[in-house]
Amino acid sequence: MNDAKAVNAGGMPSGERGWLAWISTETRFRKATGSTIVVCGIVLVLTLPMLLGGPSADRLVLLTLINVMAVVGLSIYTGNSGILTVGHIGFFAVGAYTAALLTTPPDVKAEYLRQLPSFLANAEMSLPGSLLIVAGLSLVLGLLTGLPLSRLRETSAIVATFGLLVIVNYVLKGATNISNGTKGIYGVPELVNLPVVYGLAFLTIAVAFAFKVSRWGLQLRAFQDDEVAASASGVDPKRRLLEAWTLSAVVLGVCGALFAHVIGAFQPHDFYLTLTFALIAMLVVGGKRSISGAVVGTFIITALVEMVKPIESGKVVLGIDFPPIWGLTQILLSLMILLVMYKRPAGLLGSQELTIGDMTAWLRGRRNDPAAQASPVTPLPRKAHDEAQTSLETHSVGIEFGGVRALSNVSMRVESGKIVGLIGPNGAGKTTLINALTGVHHPTKGDVILRDRNIVGQPSYRIARAGLARTFQNIRLFTEMTVLENVVTAALARGHDEAGVEDYAMSILQQFELAELAAERSSSLSYGAQRKLEIARALALEPRFLLLDEPAAGMNPKETESLINAILAIRDAFSLGIIVVEHDLHLIMRVCDEVVVLNKGELIASGKAGEVQNDPLVIEAYLGSQVVRASRTKKR
């Protein structure tokens, strides 16, 4: 297979194709560009009429645009990773206080911050300069906090982010020399204007869309769908989480700086639970996996809050004198979240993005057909057969789980260009051995040698990039991503250039008759097609060895025959070493050059298929010792 790092599928060296080529040649970047235009257009359509309401309406538009930025910033991390964060409001607060201290006139600060350090007391910067410093500070803080947080998952990650928010709040209350404690900051100049905030909001939306379809966003979305499969596809989850966390922190920090210059005065409680709850409600209501949904949710929640404010404060509305109802806004947000999660658990837009194609199809009254936009495919390059032979070996590998021995002294060798069958009764340790080879489990003894390198102790993503790909006994696809995105994600994780990667992925899909389904969500495929997609995704890693864990499980005879032909074609085309774990002995005998048999975690036989089939230990493992004794007696 061609070297993806040096030459893309179109044959052009990667160094000669810039980011403009991504937009012109890659479907996902063209769609992201179209979605950016559509969403920014929606923002304009919804906000420009509001500007006719005078200065108070201008202020509302500014705050709404800042909320759009903040929620889109949250979606960069939460929407792509699936991990809910409440800690980013801490970066919002840090950005607000930092910008205020840098831009407020010294004489105003001297009134309530008499012990402020001199470099801050005398500072009076412009808005652009302060925003750059805020972005830099948020970047540093994002990296420092993201390093430990990127190791956490699910509930523990959410609790940790809430802890970050609490810490920031207490620091702001306690650092009276800098923050003025609970009395807060006031006298912040109103340096922002509509063009600046509109520009930054549009920039944030564009960055969010670009990130989502880039190699970093695709890999993070794969992590959200299935972390084990993502790691086996070459994705480094910790690094991707850190990148998204830090980028999101920068966006929220800038939002806080803009917020400070709009409201002019604030206290620590302005950046605590109320704001956190409001921004999360906007994200959840619109759909946390959708940037378009984040924007739509922001406008819906903002409109509802503005409608209920007069009632909450006890004003006369439509001739009705309402008494003050404190907490009505929070009650409304709670009810909105409950209603949306009951009716549409994924949010109003789910994971769907608004595109130009969708909008034009809607205007014309017909459904947009993604299949019609499929790119032409190019033939998949064949692997040269004259490459040096290499091997995958295990030397006395053993694994124990809590004192239970799952594998014991298993030694085997697979050469490139050969197909080796791995068989044995249920519970023999076949999948455990596959997991040991691919880094899911680390052997407690022995060595695994891949291309003359010991890979024991290496994480799964590094093993995958080193040339060892796999499929799973139970299908593990990135279910919320398209067929094409599944393969593109693996190719990019391997190091393929952004430009041309879709043509390369389509050429792989074509080998498995999946090219016409490229735009379909992978979860919608038939069982047999999902099995083939797993193999196609593994091939996108350009491996030297491929591990197939029960690839024919659940297939009908026709699908199994197609799979057999595919396995043989893969071996012939790419000179791969293939290990097939399978209970279908007919398949094993047809495709395998050698067969290895495990029983109770031990290797009991290996050799040619015919020899192994008649081995007494193998017959005993499958049929029991009584059958073996009866067979011997009959021969006598």
CB atoms within 10 A of CB 126: 11
Q: What is the pLDDT of residue 318?
A: 63
- Is the confidence at residue 386, as pLDDT, over 70? no
Instruction: For residue 53, list its beta bridge partners.
Output: none
Q: Whose structure tokens read 């796999």?
A: 470
Q: Whose structure tokens read 């690094």?
A: 239
Q: What is the pLDDT of residue 86?
A: 92
Highest mean pLDDT among 73-77, 355-359, 427-431, 472-476: 73-77
Helices of type H across 512-555: 527-539
CB atoms within 10 A of CB 169: 18
Q: What is the pTM of this model?
A: 0.89
In degrees, rounded to 5, the angle at the alpha carbon of residue 242 between the alpha carbons of residues 164 and 62 is: 65
Q: What is the mean pLDDT of residues 102-108?
A: 95
User: How is 81-134 classified by DSSP, letter by letter?
Assistant: H----STHHHHHHHHHHHHHHHHS-HHHHHHH-TT--HHHHT----HHHHHHHH
Nearest-angstrom CA–CA distance, 314 and 310: 6
Q: What is the pLDDT of residue 6?
A: 36
Q: What is the mean pLDDT of residues 209-222?
A: 96
- Is the confidence at residue 322, as pLDDT, over 80? no
- Is the confidence at residue 213, as pLDDT, over 80? yes
Q: Which of 73-82, 249-258, 405-414, 579-588 has the lowest mean pLDDT?
A: 579-588
Q: What is the pLDDT of residue 621?
A: 74
The model's confidence at residue 634, banded by pLDDT at 50, 70 and 90, is low
Q: Which of 139-148, 501-510, 548-557 has the lowest mean pLDDT?
A: 548-557
- Is the confidence at residue 161, as pLDDT, over 70? yes
Judge residue 374's burial from the number of C-beta atoms within 10 Å of its C-beta, 0-12 exposed, 13-18 middle, 19 or more buried: middle
Judge residue 78's burial from the number of C-beta atoms within 10 Å of its C-beta, 0-12 exposed, 13-18 middle, 19 or more buried: buried
User: How is 134-175 classified by DSSP, letter by letter?
Assistant: HHHHHHHHHHHHHHHHTT--HHHHHHHHHHHHHHHHHHHHH-
The model's confidence at residue 618, banded by pLDDT at 50, 70 and 90, is confident
**Buried (b) or exposed (e) across 31-70, using 16+ Cβ within 10 A?**
bbbbbbbbbbebbeebbeeeeeeeeeeeebbbbbbbbbbb
The model's confidence at residue 335, banded by pLDDT at 50, 70 and 90, is confident
Nearest-angstrom CA–CA distance, 202 and 198: 6
Nearest-angstrom CA–CA distance, 74 and 16: 34
Q: What is the pLDDT of residue 330?
A: 82
Of 26, 351, 10, the closest CA to residue 214 belongs to: 26
What percentage of the chain's residues is helix, strand, coil (to nearest 5)? Answer: 60, 10, 30
Highest mean pLDDT among 253-267, 319-333, 363-377: 253-267
Per-residue pLDDT tens digits for 561-592: 888 888 888 888 888 999 999 888 888 888 99
Q: What is the mean pLDDT of residues 55-60?
A: 90
The model's confidence at residue 5, banded by pLDDT at 50, 70 and 90, is very low
Domains of the chain: 39-273 (no CATH), 391-635 (3.40.50.300)
- Is the confidence at residue 12, as pLDDT, over 50? no
Q: Which of 11-20, 350-359, 485-494, 517-526 has the lowest mean pLDDT?
A: 11-20
Q: What is the pLDDT of residue 569?
A: 87
Distances (CA, A) of 156 to 149, 250, 279: 9, 23, 21
The helix/strand/coil state of 383 is coil
Looking only at the bridges linking them, the beta strands covering 316-317 and 320-321 are antiparallel
Q: What is the pLDDT of residue 10?
A: 39
- Is the confidence at residue 41, as pLDDT, over 60? yes
Query: Whole-number mean pLDDT of the chain?
Result: 87
Highest mean pLDDT among 241-245, 358-362, 531-535, 590-594: 241-245
Q: What is the pLDDT of residue 306?
A: 86
Distances (CA, A) of 390 to 28, 106, 394, 540, 544: 37, 70, 14, 19, 8
Q: What is the pLDDT of residue 42?
A: 95
CB atoms within 10 A of CB 494: 21
Residues found in the chain: 636
The model's confidence at residue 320, banded by pLDDT at 50, 70 and 90, is low
Q: What is the pLDDT of residue 492?
A: 95
Backbone angles phi, psi at 413, to 5 degrees: -145, 135
Q: Which of 236-245, 324-333, 560-569 has the lowest mean pLDDT?
A: 324-333
Nearest-angstrom CA–CA distance, 485 and 477: 11
Q: What is the mean pLDDT of residues 386-397?
A: 82
The model's confidence at residue 334, banded by pLDDT at 50, 70 and 90, is confident
Q: What is the mean pLDDT of residues 374-384?
A: 48
Q: Which of the two residues, 212 and 325, has the higher pLDDT score?
A: 212
- Is the confidence at residue 377, as pLDDT, over 60? no
Q: What is the pLDDT of residue 3?
A: 41
The model's confidence at residue 99, banded by pLDDT at 50, 70 and 90, is very high
The helix/strand/coil state of 573 is helix
